[in-house]
Amino acid sequence: MIRYPKHAGTFYPDTKEELEVFFREFEKRKISTPIKFDVYGAVAPHAGYVYSGLTAYSTYRIIFDKNSYKTVVILGPSHYVYFRGIAVYPEGKWISPRGEAIIDSESAGKILNNDIFIAAPENHLREHSIEVQIPFIQYLSPGSKILPLLVGEMERDEIREAGKTLSKLLLSSKEVLIVASSDLYHGYSYRECVETDKNTIAKILELNPESFIDASQKGSIMACGETGIAILLYAITETFETPKAQLIHYTNSADITGIKGGYVVGYAGIVMGV
């Protein structure tokens, strides 16, 4: 089973050589923030590389400089297909301009024992939220396998149960990283973007999934991958008694382009662990 790139040439370059140019530039400009804990979870943006690429690269760079991972689990929101639960890409490989990323089919088999997780590779075919993460992982951690999980509509108890299921993966192997792929604010006010994103980031850093979901339902925070973030928060807090979290980098599309009017989207890189 092979999943070919859908968004190469739009969200990110469609050749290995052009990707290398991006990554070399990101390396020169990377945000180097010291962290004093081992990382098992992260939030990373999924916009076009010209907008959120530096934030994503800096986040992955710090993670992979500190730890090595057998598997990177990627929770991405579904932008194109409506369904309930979590669609697992269960086996095979994903292709990017950098080559092949192998699916961790063993871990996929473990989580498919839970009814919330469904084997539905067809749901992944158009989605960008997971695809854009793959070249970063291939470049910075070429030995890691991936486990793509596309997140659909879910109730709170299902989100909690999904987090507990992923916690079992973390407990079975400390060589697993869980990434929640998410952009933050979407809207037409730069000031509102900065304020809302400040609130959203603070809620994530609290490492309290119930409080995060409450704030999301009230509309005081905003993230397109909020369900995946909540699942990640449940997984981390279920696994570790005293987890830590740290913001690596924040920006938004208006700060990147210098145009403070019009549509604006927020981006953050956050790491979690012990």
Read off the pLDDT of residues 150-164 as tens digits, 9 standing for 90 and up.
999 999 999 999 999
pLDDT given at position 223: 98
d(CA 61, CA 40): 14
What are the Cα distances from residue 181, in Å, to 20, 227, 241?
22, 10, 24
Per residue in 197-236, pLDDT (tens digit) is 999 999 999 999 999 999 999 999 999 999 999 999 999 9
pTM over 0.95: yes
Which of these, 226, 234, 236, 231, lies nearest to 268 by C-alpha position? 226
Average pLDDT in the 229-250 region?
98
Q: What percent of the chain has pLDDT over 70?
A: 100
Q: What percent of the chain has pLDDT over 90?
A: 97
| Segments in 112-173 forming alpha helices (H) | 134-140, 156-172
The token duo for 227 is 């369900």
Q: What distance in Å separates the CA atoms of residue 118 and residue 65, rounded to the nearest whole number?
A: 33
What does residue 254 show for φ and ψ, rounded to 5 degrees?
A: -70, -40
Average pLDDT (49-70) is 97
Q: Would you state the pLDDT for residue 15?
A: 98
pLDDT mean across residues, the chain: 97
β-bridge pairing 93-96 and 264-273: unpaired
Q: Cα(233)–Cα(159) distance, rounded to whole angstroms?
A: 10
pLDDT of residue 184 exceeding 90, the answer is: yes
CATH 3.40.50.1820 describes domain 2-273: no
Among candidate residues 178, 92, 166, 88, the one with its CA nearest the CA of residue 133: 178
Say yes or no to pLDDT of 174 above 90.
no
Over 90: is that where the pLDDT of 173 sits? no
Q: What is the CA 13 to chain-centroid distance, rounded?
A: 19
Tell me which residue of 250, 204, 253 sits closest to 42, measured CA to CA. 204
Q: What is the pLDDT of residue 27?
A: 98
For the stretch 65-86, what's the b/e string if a residue is b when 16 or more beta carbons lie within 10 angstroms of its beta carbon? Answer: eeeebebbbbbbbbeeeeeebb
